[in-house]
C-alpha cells in the first residue's frame, strides 16, 4: 500500500494505492487514536469497479457506513489487483479532526460477502502521529 496526503483549503487530499486488492474485497484507511470512535474511508472492489464510502468503526469489527458519503472522489479505478484513488475528506471527519495528529490505520483487505463488508483479512498497518496540517 502507498499513501500520500496534503492539506488544501481545510480539507485533506489523500492519494491511496493498494496493489493487492482482489475482486470482491475492500481496503480502508481508518483515522483516530482510540478504538471506540474511529473514522474510515472504505474502497470496495466490486466486480472490478471501485466504490468509495465513508463511515465509522469501533476497531473490533463493527462498521457503520455513512448515509451520506463524506468523501469527494477525484479518481478511483482498478486494473488487475491494483487500486488507485484520490479522495478529498473534510478536516472534521466523523468526529476526528484530521488536521490534528492521529494514528492512521491502513487495512490491506477484507472480504465482501453478499454485497456486505466482511471482516478484514489481516491486521492493519498503523502509522502513529500523522499530522496532515504540517503537510502542504
Local confidence pLDDT in tens for the 136 residues of the chain: 999 998 888 899 999 999 999 999 999 999 988 767 889 999 999 999 999 999 988 766 678 888 999 999 999 999 999 999 999 999 999 888 888 899 999 999 999 988 888 888 888 999 988 888 776 5
Nearest CA-CA partner of 132 in 38, 15, 54, 1? 15
Beta-strand relationship, 63-65 and 11-18: unpaired
Q: Give dist(CA 8, CA 12) in Å, integer.
A: 6
C-alpha cell at 22: 482482489
pTM: 0.92
Domain range list for the chain: 2-130
CATH 3.80.30.20 fits 2-130, yes or no: no
Amino acid at each position: 500500500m502507498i499513501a500520500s496526503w496534503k492539506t488544501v483549503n481545510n480539507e485533506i487530499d489523500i492519494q491511496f494505492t493498494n496493489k493487492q486488492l482482489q475482486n470482491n474485497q475492500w481496503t480502508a484507511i481508518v483515522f483516530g487514536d482510540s478504538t471506540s470512535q474511529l473514522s474510515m474511508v472504505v474502497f470496495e472492489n466490486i466486480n472490478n469497479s471501485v466504490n468509495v464510502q465513508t463511515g465509522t468503526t469501533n476497531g473490533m469489527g463493527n462498521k457503520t457506513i455513512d448515509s451520506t458519503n463524506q468523501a469527494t472522489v477525484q479518481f478511483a479505478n482498478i486494473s488487475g489487483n491494483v487500486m488507485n484513488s484520490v479522495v478529498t475528506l473534510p478536516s472534521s471527519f466523523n468526529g476526528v479532526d484530521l488536521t490534528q495528529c492521529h494514528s492512521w490505520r491502513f487495512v490491506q483487505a477484507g472480504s465482501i460477502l453478499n454485497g456486505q463488508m466482511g471482516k478484514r483479512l489481516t491486521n492493519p498497518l498503523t502509522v502513529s502521529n500523522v499530522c496532515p496540517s504540517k503537510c502542504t
